[in-house]
Amino acid sequence: MTGRGSPAAPAPAGERIQKVLAQAGLASRREAERWLSQGRISVNGSVITEPGTRVDLSRDHVKVDGRRLRPAEKKAYYLLHKPDGYVTTTRDPEGRPVVTDLLRGVRERVFPVGRLDYHTSGLIILTNDGDLADRLMRPASGCLKVYHVKVKGTPAPSVLKRLSEGIVIDGRRTLPTRITVLGGEQHTWVAVVLQEGRRNQIRRMFTKAGHPVLKLRRVAIGPISDRGLPPGAWRRLTPDELRRLDGALR
C-alpha cells in the first residue's frame, strides 16, 4: 500500500446529450429532453431516452429523427413576427404550419426560443444558440415579455389587481405581473408583463377571472421590440440588440 488511497475514478467521457444537441444548434436543452422522451434520438443505432447519456461526436453516431448530427453552424439570431395559425415548433405531427416555414431564404438550421400558442401572434426569437435559448427561458433570467391582450368586457380594477398579484393555476401561484389598461369600449385592451411563461398562462388567467382573451400578441422580449415588423416577416437581430439582450439576462 502506498498510503495515498485508491485512485479517483475517471470522469465520464463526452458531454450530456442535451448539451450536445444545444451546441449543435438543434434545440434548447429543455426541448432536447422532450425529444429524448419521445424516442427521437439514437446513439450508435440505439434509441436513447435517458437525459444523462453522454456522447462524443468524435466517436459516436448521433441521429435525430434519423438524420445524422453534424457540427454546430455559425451562430444565427432571427426575430420573427409569428402570425396567428402557426405552431411554435420545427415540426408538427398534425401537419399544421410551423414557424420555420416562414424563414424562406434562411440557410442556418434554427429553432424557436420558447413558445407562442397557435392562436397567439407576435415576436419570437429563433436561433441555433442553445445556451442563449436556455438562458432566455429560465424564469429567473430577468427577461420580461410584454403582451397586448384584448379581453372580453371590462375587468374591474380589483380583478386586475388580483391577477397582477398572482392567482393559483394547476396548484401553483403565478408570479406577480404588471397589468396596464390600454383602452377599449365594449372590450378592453391591456398590456401584461410576464416574468414566467407557463403554457397558456395569460389566457388561463383571464378566463379564470371571467374575461376570456379575444386577441393576444407579444410585443417585446426583454429589450427587443419592433412595431414595424409585419406578421410573417423576419429579420436578423442586430449586434446592438444582442448586446442589450445579453445585458438584460441574469
If DSSP codes are grouped into helix, strand and coil, which group holds residue 204? helix
CA 188 from centroid of its chain's CA atoms: 28
Give buried/exposed letters for 86-106 (b at 16+ CB in 10 A, else e).
bbbbbeeeeeeeebbebeeee
One-letter identity of residue 214: L
Residue with cell 485512485: 7
Q: Do strands 145-151 and 188-194 pair parallel, antiparallel, or not at all (unpaired)?
A: antiparallel
Query: C-alpha dihedral over 236, 242, 245, 247, to 10 degrees?
Result: 180
The number of helices, as runs of H, and strands, as runs of E, in the chain is: 6, 17
Residue 22 and residue 30: Cα distance in Å, rounded?
A: 9
User: Which of the residues are catalytic?
Assistant: 117
CA 215 from centroid of its chain's CA atoms: 20
Residues with Cβ < 8 Å from 94, sequence gap 6 or more?
A: none
Q: Please, are residues 110 and 102 in contact by the beta-carbon 8 Å criterion? A: no
